[in-house]
Amino acid sequence: MTLPELRHALSQYGVSLTLTSEGRLKVNAQQQPPADLMAALRLHRDALICDLQPPALPGAEPLPGHLAALVDVARAGQSPRGAVKLASGLVTDLAGYVLAWAECWPRDRAHILQRLEEARAAVNL
């Protein structure tokens, strides 16, 4: 699930996402979303925080080529299916994970590079 898809699904339950002054994700809901949607929210929490931060400046550097190839694999639906163990934890949707982090590029560059490199190792690119 990409970030726009996740945000759209959350909005169906009246969920709004904002950042606190400390940079933490604040979730307000008019009704309780289903458990699988809340699991997706937790899985993509860091990417959502990144997405809510101010946009990068125009002309920012592109995603490195080897990681752009990883994004292409995810978009083509060729990522491993099912749960994948990364150094940072278990990911149930590797393609969604990769696409969510790629959407945040180049904000918080070091963190995003680390997450995408872990995913790249799992795909063996």
Query: What is the DSSP pairing of strand 89-91 with strand 16-19?
Result: unpaired
State residue 116's pLDDT score: 92
pTM of the model: 0.59
Question: How far is it, in rounded angstroms, from Cα 78 to Cα 56?
Answer: 29
Angle, vertex CA 47, rays to CA 105 and CA 75, nearest 5: 65
CA atoms within 13 A on the CB side of 78: 10
Tell me the pLDDT of the chain (125 aa) as tens digits. 788 899 999 999 999 998 887 778 899 999 999 999 999 999 888 888 888 876 655 566 788 888 989 999 999 989 888 899 998 888 999 999 998 888 888 777 888 889 899 999 988 86
Domain count, the chain: 1
Is the link from the previous residue into 106 a cis peptide, with omega within 30 of 0?
yes
What is the CA 25 to chain-centroid distance, rounded? 14
The number of beta carbons lying within 10 Å of the beta carbon of residue 54 is: 6
Q: pLDDT value at position 56?
A: 57
What's the pLDDT score for residue 3? 84
pLDDT of residue 105: 83
State which residues form the domain around 14: 3-123
